[in-house]
């Protein structure tokens, strides 16, 4: 049986049964399934894990349900500042962008940084200029606008505080991890950050080792959670290190980091991960996480814990 596997997430947090209407639940399941199908179609044809995770995240960025790409939240100044990162596990190449606006698919900008520059992480106006130079698609502010996100921003402005994402405590980052038929790993993560964020705040998502990591010697990881804590815990790399240096399984390492070490710090959230043998883990310490997995065994999506 092929060890090709792809997992995606669309955020974690206070996501309880009963909070979503049946139609909303169906919409989330359908969006996750669409992303999984886009990525797995590549893996199923012998394509690379990097192509697969980028295809999956692109679908999630184009869906307004998630806080990434089109669905990104508003900053304090009424803008959309997005972050993204990609990494592949064979050569440990990585690329990332932070604080970018107007780019339709930040994950593709991150990949362009990896493949067409000498750098790993570009930010702000420089990253936007680079993306234009690479011929990437841009959209107007109306593409990124939604009344729902606007209402969140207005509430946060009135309360004069930063919000993690929704009115309920939720981390809306999206991500994907994959193992291809050759045993090569890749990870990609994309986010719009925190509602009403100020001063160019950047979380863990675009930082290799914190929110995103891939290494064939261990695993590929994409995180979603309170970025400040995930940065401090170097979460994605920590999972890999526990596997490579302590010999833990993917599931054991993921649970130790998320359910013990991050909880001790105060960090809420979760992660998805795969290893080079096609094993997978989807672990979170919050009440729910939008997530899905596809392999030769089939496709499944889930929202709630338990």
The pTM of this model reads 0.93
**Would you state the pLDDT for residue 75?**
77
**Would you state the pLDDT for residue 168?**
46
Report, as ranges of residue numbers, the positions in the chain whose pLDDT lies below 70. Answer: 1, 147, 150, 153, 156-157, 160-171
**Would you state the pLDDT for residue 256?**
98
Q: How far is Cα 105 from Cα 148, in angstroms, rounded to an integer?
A: 21
What are the extents of the domains in the chain? 5-299
**Would you state the pLDDT for residue 2?**
81
Give the torsion through C-alpha atoms of 108, 193, 22, 293, to 10 deg. 50
Fold exhibited by the domain 5-299 = 3.60.20
**Would you state the pLDDT for residue 20?**
85
Catalytic residues: 173
- Give the count of alpha carbons within 13 A of 15, CB side only: 28
pLDDT in tens, 208-246: 999 999 999 999 999 999 999 999 999 999 999 999 999
């Amino acid at each position: 049986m092929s060890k090709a596997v792809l997992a995606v997430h669309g955020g974690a947090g206070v996501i309880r049964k009963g909070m979503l209407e049946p139609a909303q639940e169906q919409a989330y399941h359908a969006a996750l399934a669409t992303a999984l199908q886009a990525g797995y179609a590549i893996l199923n044809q012998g394509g690379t894990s990097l192509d697969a995770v980028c295809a999956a995240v692109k679908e999630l960025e184009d869906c307004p349900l998630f806080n990434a790409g089109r669905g990104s939240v508003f900053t304090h100044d009424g803008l959309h500042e997005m972050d993204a990162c990609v990494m592949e596990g064979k050569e440990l190449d990585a690329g990332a962008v932070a604080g970018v606006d107007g780019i339709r698919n930040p994950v593709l900008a991150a990949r362009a940084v990896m493949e067409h520059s000498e750098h790993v992480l570009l930010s702000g106006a420089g990253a936007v200029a680079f993306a234009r130079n690479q011929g990437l698609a841009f959209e107007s502010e109306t593409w990124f606008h939604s009344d729902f996100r606007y209402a969140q921003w207005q509430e946060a402005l009135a309360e004069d505080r930063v919000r993690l994402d929704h009115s309920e405590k939720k981390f809306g980052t999206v991500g994907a991890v994959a193992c291809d038929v050759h045993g090569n790993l890749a990870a990609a993560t994309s986010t719009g950050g925190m509602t009403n964020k100020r001063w160019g705040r950047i979380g863990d998502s675009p930082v290799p080792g914190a929110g995103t990591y891939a290494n064939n010697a261990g695993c590929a990881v994409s995180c979603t959670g309170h970025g400040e804590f995930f940065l401090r815990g170097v979460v994605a790399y920590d999972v890999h290190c526990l596997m490579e240096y302590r010999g833990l399984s993917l599931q054991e390492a993921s649970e130790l980091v998320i359910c013990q070490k991050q909880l001790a710090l105060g960090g809420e959230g979760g992660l998805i991960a795969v290893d080079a043998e096609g094993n997978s883990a989807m672990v979170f310490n919050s009440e729910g996480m939008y997530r899905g997995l596809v392999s030769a065994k089939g496709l499944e999506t889930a929202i709630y814990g338990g």
